[in-house]
Amino acid sequence: MRGLSIFHLDMTDAYLLTDATVVLARARAGDLTAFEQVYRAYEVPVYNLARRICRTVEDAEDVLQETFFEVCRSIGQYRGDGSLWGWIRTIAASKALMRLRRNKYRDTDEYEEDLHRAPRNDNGLRMDLEAALERLPETSRAVVWLHDVEGYTHEEIAGMMGKTVSFSKSQLARAHARLRRWLGEEPAA
């Protein structure tokens, strides 16, 4: 049990994982049952994040597996500087963004093409938020989710995506402009 006091398990960890400190220590010692408890506690938030970023269910499932495989292999390196969920979430976000890059989705190009196309008359579509979010290009959706929901800063998002801070900011603004239009939230002219 040496070194447990260095873990900074936050309220989220305590809420998701009962006896988080003890379970984590056992998982670090190689106890697979304890690791299953970690998996069960964070399975849904990791999958949710992956599904919001990735295009397909299959990609999100792969990200879920890869994330926890990595978590198990690296759990000895988790020093408890931040929350456990924060650490797992960063691994999941990186894996999901890596998957986006690997699949070579070209949503930025699509957006640039959009700019040069005649504007689509999709004002007043009044889609629901789920459908509108799903309709966003992958990069924009990833940025809006990571920033507005997961709470990452533009600097952090830029670092994970290998892009500039300005890129992250502009993707966020574009995402909101589109959501606003598709949700029918634009004020009447």
Partner 1 sequence: MNHLTVDQLVQLREPGLEPGVAPLRTHLDSCVACQAEAARLDQRSNRLRALAALRPARDHWPVLAGRLRAERRRRRVRSAAWMGLAAAAGFALMVMIRSARQAPEPAEQVAINEAIARSRQLEQLIHSYNPEARVTDGRTVRVAGELEDRIALVDQQLQSALQLDQRGRDAEMLGLWRQRVGLLNALVDVHLTRAGGVGY
Stretch that binds partner 1, among 4-12, 89-97, 110-118, 181-189 (CB under 8 A): 181-189
Residue 7 makes contact with partner 1 by CB under 8 A:
no
Stretch that binds partner 1, among 12-20, 30-38, 96-104, 118-126 (CB under 8 A): 30-38
Residue 73 makes contact with partner 1 by CB under 8 A:
yes
Contact 64, 46 (CB under 8 A): yes
Residue 15 makes contact with partner 1 by CB under 8 A:
no
Residue 183 makes contact with partner 1 by CB under 8 A:
yes
Q: What is the DSSP letter of 3?
A: T
Residue 177 makes contact with partner 1 by CB under 8 A:
yes
Residue 81, token pair as written in the block: 């500087």
For the chain, helix (H) and strand (E) counts, in that order, are 10, 0
Rounded distance, CA 88 to CA 119, Å? 40
Residue 79's Cβ-count burial label (10 Å; 0-12, 13-18, 19+) is exposed
CA distances from 132 to 97, 140, 145, 166, 176 (A): 20, 12, 13, 24, 10
- From 4, 149, 164, 184, residue interacting with partner 1 (rule: CB under 8 A): 149
- The contact set with partner 1 (CB under 8 A) reads 30, 32, 35-36, 39-40, 43-45, 47-48, 51-52, 57, 60-61, 64-65, 68-69, 72-73, 129-130, 133, 144-145, 148-149, 154, 169-170, 172-173, 176-177, 179-180, 183, 185, 187
